[in-house]
Amino acid sequence: MVIGLLHIFAIVCSAFVCGKLVAKIKLPAILGWLIAGIVFGPYLAGVVTLDITNSLWYKIAIKFFECFAGVMIGREIVFKKIASSGRQIIGITFVQSIGTFLFVSAVFGIVFLIEDIPVYLAFIFGGIALATAPAPALSIVNEYHTNGPVTKTLIPLAAIDDIIGVIVFFTIISIINGMGGGLAASPLSIAGMILLPFVIGILAGGCAAFLMKRFKNNVSRLLLLLAFLCISALSGLMIDKYIFHSFSLNYLLIGMAFSGTIANKIPEDELSGVLDLYTPILNLSLVIVIVNLGMPLDYRLIAGAGLFTAIYILSRAIGKIGGAYWGGKITKAEPSVTKYLGFTLLPHSGVSLVFTGIAVSTLSVVDPSLAPIVSGTIVAAAIINEIIAVIIAKFAFKWAGEIQESKAPPQAAGHQA
């Protein structure tokens, strides 16, 4: 374990350096973090091996960092601020999520009919495609301090999108599992996966806020925030162990619900000092979460990427961009949201790989010949899509006018020289 920790420390340091180098050419630092995960992960340099990434302690540590990263989403969800646009956000999320699912499913349905492959597999592709990984786009928000309608829509949308993704995907998997004679997931277990992260986060966040109000010192408040954040992650791990018997809960949502509760109970001017102190922890958490997204991506699969991979990437992009566009039109969103929001929703490797693993396990029982089609297509698409999607997401914020290209003041420039 000690050697494993040293290896992870080395890859995180490498990711920071890669991020700085990539930022020099005006690209998001997250791209450097992602590349560091791929290059130094199990499938290339092997600084972090599969034995490490498959170990229980590593998986638990990642869940903690996902929870810490989720704070970034929740701190922006202040109900007073989004009350006027709540219905609009829900409408856009629903249209782009279900639209992506239906479009990708329809495209693959036609392809599989031609290829004489069972059509129900198309719905698995659609279920995987609708999910969005919030961490990459939100890392760009954090790095460039984006602000505007697209950013304000994206942050709460990321949470709702995950909920719709879980409902649709697990419903499909449950139906297909039942077709093959396996045990279908019960509606209660699906509801648990969706609701429990919010219950855990809200309860822990409420307790933290209650105590934080009684302290005026920001350091004491930060320690309370970290303590209850750890309690919320531990609670999730206990539920996963004793109820789901696997890592089934979304820890980003736990962190989001936790910080969202605090943000709605503590005045913004009082909370800002605590969150400023929390920023280094947030930045480290984002780096680790993104590096972890890159490590399972086997670069060798790019060579094997074929027609299905190209169809998946293109149909999902059309579904997300087109769905966000029509969702914006229907809900009368601001023009920048209608035009550019969909481009920020293209990253999804983390969620897609989790869903792919579940789909492959199900298909291995129902029809083992179909499992390699899903795994080969999605993993290859994840590598290609993620690198391209991160760059596109950055430019989407720029096109929307929400990235302010600030120039260094003369004093700073002189100091650097």
**Mean pLDDT of all residues in 363-389:** 84
Evaluate if residue 287 carries a pLDDT over 70: yes
Q: What is the CATH number of domain 57-403?
A: 1.20.1530.20
Residue 370 in contact with residue 122, Cβ under 8 Å? no
**Mean pLDDT of all residues in 196-216:** 94
Of residues 321 and 296, more confidently modeled: 321
Residue 355 in contact with residue 123, Cβ under 8 Å? no
Query: For residues 316-347, b (16+ Cβ closer than 10 Å) or e, as one string?
Result: bbbbbbbbbbbbbeebebbebbbbbbbbbbbb
* Cα 45 from Cα 139, distance rounded (Å): 25
* Cα 306 from Cα 236, distance rounded (Å): 39
Which residues, 6 or more positions from 413, have their beta carbon under 8 angstroms from its beta carbon? none
Residue 25 in contact with residue 19, Cβ under 8 Å? no
* Cα 164 from Cα 87, distance rounded (Å): 15
Residue ranges of domains in the chain: 57-403
Q: What is the mean pLDDT of the chain?
A: 86
Residue 285 in contact with residue 65, Cβ under 8 Å? yes
Query: For residues 353-376, b (16+ Cβ closer than 10 Å) or e, as one string?
Result: bbbbebbbebbeebbeebbebbbb
- The string of pLDDT tens digits covering residues 33-72 is 888 988 898 888 888 898 998 899 999 999 999 999 989 8
Give the CA radius of gyration of the chain: 21
Residues, the chain: 417
- The string of pLDDT tens digits covering residues 136-154 is 888 888 888 898 999 989 8
- The string of pLDDT tens digits covering residues 265-284 is 998 888 999 999 999 999 99
Lowest mean pLDDT among 1-5, 18-22, 310-314: 1-5
Residue 78's identity, in one-letter code, is V
